[in-house]
Structure 1
C-alpha cells in the first residue's frame, strides 16, 4: 500500500500540543441539528475529506462522494493538511463547517468534548441489518466509543509494523527475528555489515520514534494509560521495554541520527541500505520504491519476553457534526459512502489500509503481500494509545500524540540518556502537570 506523498506515514493522527490549544479555542455551545445551515445549507451536504493518498485520491474520492443520490446534494471539499487544525476549529466554531468529515485521528474526540459531534450510534445500529457492521475488522468500532456514544466511524488504518530488508538479512546470514532475543541477535549480525536495525525517526514532523517506543511497551503488556484513562507510564513492563531499547542504543544498533531524522531522512537510510530492520507505516516499501522498495518485507509481530504480542496503531475515522442540514441525510450519505468506497483501495489511490474485511478480500488488495500480512498478523494484535487500559480513544490521548513531552521522552531514549525508569518518570510528571 502507498501512503500520502510528502506526508508523515502516521496518517496524520496528530491533534495535540499547539493543535489542541487551537481546537480548544473553538469550544462553544453545541448547535442544534439542522441549525445555521453551516453543515450544508442551500440543499447541499458538506463532506470534507483530507488528502489521504496520492494525486489520484482526491478526484476519485470526490467522484464517489458526489455520485450520492439523496435528498441533498453532496459537496465534496478536500482540506489540506497544512493548517487543517485552524481550518476545522474556525469553521466548527462559526457553524460554517461540514456535516461530515475525516480529519486528525483524535479530532472527533476533541470536538465530542465540545458538544459538536453527532453520535454514530443509530447509524451503526442500522448497519447491523445489512451486514456492513460485521464487515469492519476486529476492534475498530469499539475504539470509537466514548461515554456519550460512538464519536466516529473507522475509515482508514495507519499501522506501525516492523520491516526488514530481505537482501541485507540474507547478507548478514540471519533469519527474520521472532522475539526480542532474536531481534538482538539479528541486530548484531546487521551491525557487522554496517546496517542499523532500529530504523525510526524522531525529528521534525516524524513521530515514528515515539510510536515505536510505545509499541515496545505494548509489546511487553504495557502502555501509557490505565483503565481509568489516566497516564500510568512508570510500570515494570514499560521500564523493561525502554531498557531494552536503551540496550540497543548502547550496542550501536540504533542510528545516532534517528533523534533528528525526518520521514525523508528515514526513507533515505532505507534506500541507501543503511537500515536493515526498522519500524514504519504500511506504505514504507512503496515510499522507498526504486531498487530497494521490492527488497522490503513486513516482519511478523515479535513476541515479548513474557509472551505478549502487541503494537500501536491509529484508526483514522470519519465523523458527523451536530451542525448539519439533516442528520438522517448525513447518515444516509455515510452508508452510501462506505458501501462504495472500495475503489479508493482497489485502484491504488494511496490511502491507508482499509477498515472493511470485504475490501481486504478483493483480488487487488490480495496482490499486495505486505498489506495482506499487516491485516492478517498485525491488525488483530495492535492497540491504540489507550493501552493497556483499553482500546477506546479519548481526549486524554492528545497529551502524548506528537506533543513536546513525548518528543523529549523519545529523544532521551534514542539518544541513550539515563535509564528507562528515569525517562518514564519525567514523562509521567509532565503529563500529570499538564492534565
Structure 2
C-alpha cells in the first residue's frame, strides 16, 4: 500500500511540474526556455528565418526560439487570445500594427524601450510611425522595402538612352525602348500593370491621398488627374505598354520589358535569370520636381497575453538593434534593414543593387494608418483606376466616384 501511495505522489508531482511550466513543453534538454515565433513567411523564406534564429539560439543559452508558419496570422492571433494558442513574438507586415493595437491584442512596448534605453531614432522614422497607435509604440521595425525603378541595361544600351530621372525622361526612354510588330507589342518600354502604385505617383505630382487630418480623401484633385492623364499619355499616345502584356508571367525577367517599378524582394529571383543584366535607380520625379515613393515592410510585435514576454523582447532587441545582425539577415534574405545604421553600411550604399533603395528611403512614405484606409485603396480607388485603364470610364468620373466611396469608408472607420 505504501508503494502505491508513493507512486501516486510521484505521478502527481510530475503532473504539477509540467503544469507549472517545468516540463519538456516549456524547456529543452539544456534548460533553455522554448519561445514560439509566428509569421506568414513560408517556402524558401523559412530557411532564411531559421538561419537567423539559429544564430540567436547559439548566442545565448536562456531561450530557444522556434519558428512556426501561420497563414492568416492576424486572425489566428485573435482566436488564440480567445482561448487558443498564443505565440511569444510575431513577424508581420507593419501596417497591421495599429489595427490590432486598437483591438487590445498587442503589448505596449514603451516601458521596455525606456527601460533598455532603446533609441527609436535609429530606425527609419516612417517605419516607427507605422507601428504606433495613439502615441504608443507597439512594435519594432525590422525590414523595409520600397518600389524603385528597375531597368534592363541591355535594352537601354541598344536604344542609346540612360535611365530616366523625371516623368518627361520616362516617356522618352520608354518610347525609345518600345517595339511593335504591326499591331503586336513585342517589347514594352515601361510596365504599367500595377495601378496600386497610384499612391506614389500622386506624391510625385505634388498631391496626397488624404487631407491633412486624414478625415477625407484628397486624390480627386488636380494632381490626381495629372497622374491619370500621364498614364493615358504613356498607354494611348506613346503606346509603351499594353494591358495584359505580362500575361501572368514576368516579362521583365524575360527581357521583354525595359523598365518597371519593383522592390528588393525581386533581387534574388532576377539574379538567377541567365543573361538578364539590370540596374536600379530611385523613382522618377514629377513635373515640378516632387519625389514620391511608398515604403512597407515587416516588424516584430509581442501579443499582449504572451507568456514569455521578457524572452520575446530579448529576441526582438537582438535582431533589430544590432546593426551587424541586420546586415547579416539582409545577406540571407535580400531585404533592407529598418535600422538606419545597418542600412547605411557599405554593403548597401556601395552595392549597385541596393543603393537605389537606400536613397529612396530618404523620401519614401508609409500609407496612412487611419482605420479604413486600406479599404479606401482596395475597394474604392483601385477598381476605378482599373476601369480607367480598361477604357470603361473617364479619369474625372473615376476619381469622383472613388472619392465618394472612399470618404464613406473613412467616415465609417472613424465611428
Specify the TM-score bucket, using the shorter chain as the normaliser: 0.7 to 0.9
* Alignment-derived partner of residue 123 in structure 1: 112
* Alignment-derived partner of residue 4 in structure 2: none
Deviation for aligned residue 1:199: 1.6
Encode CA deviations 1:279-310: one digit per residue, 9 max, x unaligned.
111233432332344x2111233121122111
Contact (CA 8 Å) 1:200, 1:280: kept in 2 or not?
A: no
**Correspondence list, 1:5-404, <5 A:** 42=26, 44-51=34-41, 54=45, 56-67=47-58, 69=60, 73-80=63-70, 82-94=71-83, 96-126=85-115, 129=117, 133-192=120-179, 194-201=186-193, 209-232=194-217, 233-251=219-237, 252-257=239-244, 261-262=247-248, 265=249, 267=250, 269-288=251-270, 289-293=272-276, 295-325=277-307, 327-339=309-321, 342-343=324-325, 345-346=327-328, 348-362=331-345, 364-365=347-348, 368-375=351-358, 377-386=359-368, 393-400=369-376, 403-404=378-379
- Between structure 1 and structure 2, the one with the greater Rg is 2
Structure 1 residues 276 and 199, CA, compared in 2 at 3 Å: closer, same or farther?
same
Larger relative contact order, structure 1 or 2 (CA cutoff 8 Å, min sep 6): 1
Structure 1 stretches lacking a partner, 5+ long: 1-35, 202-208, 387-392
- The whole-number CA distance in structure 1 between the counterparts of 2:37 and 2:323 is 14
Deviation for aligned residue 1:405: 3.7
Count the aligned residue pairs: 372
TM-score, reference length from structure 1:
0.76
Deviation for aligned residue 1:419: 2.8
Encode CA deviations 1:148-196: one digit per residue, 9 max, x unaligned.
4123211111211111111111212222112111111112112247532
Structure 2 stretches lacking a partner, 5+ long: 1-19, 27-32, 181-185
TM-score, reference length from structure 2:
0.79
Question: Which SS does the other structure have where 1:186 is aligned?
Answer: helix
Contact (CA 8 Å) 1:243, 1:419: kept in 2 or not?
A: no
Deviating beyond 6 angstroms after TM superposition, the runs of 4 or more aligned structure 1 residues are none
Structure 1 residues 329 and 346, CA, compared in 2 at 3 Å: closer, same or farther?
closer
Encode CA deviations 1:255-292: one digit per residue, 9 max, x unaligned.
3116x854xx2x2x112222111111123343233234
Structure 1 residues 158 and 211, CA, compared in 2 at 3 Å: closer, same or farther?
farther
- The whole-number CA distance in structure 2 between the counterparts of 1:339 and 1:276 is 38
Structure 1 residues 303 and 361, CA, compared in 2 at 3 Å: closer, same or farther?
closer
Contact (CA 8 Å) 1:246, 1:416: kept in 2 or not?
A: no
Contact (CA 8 Å) 1:210, 1:406: kept in 2 or not?
A: no
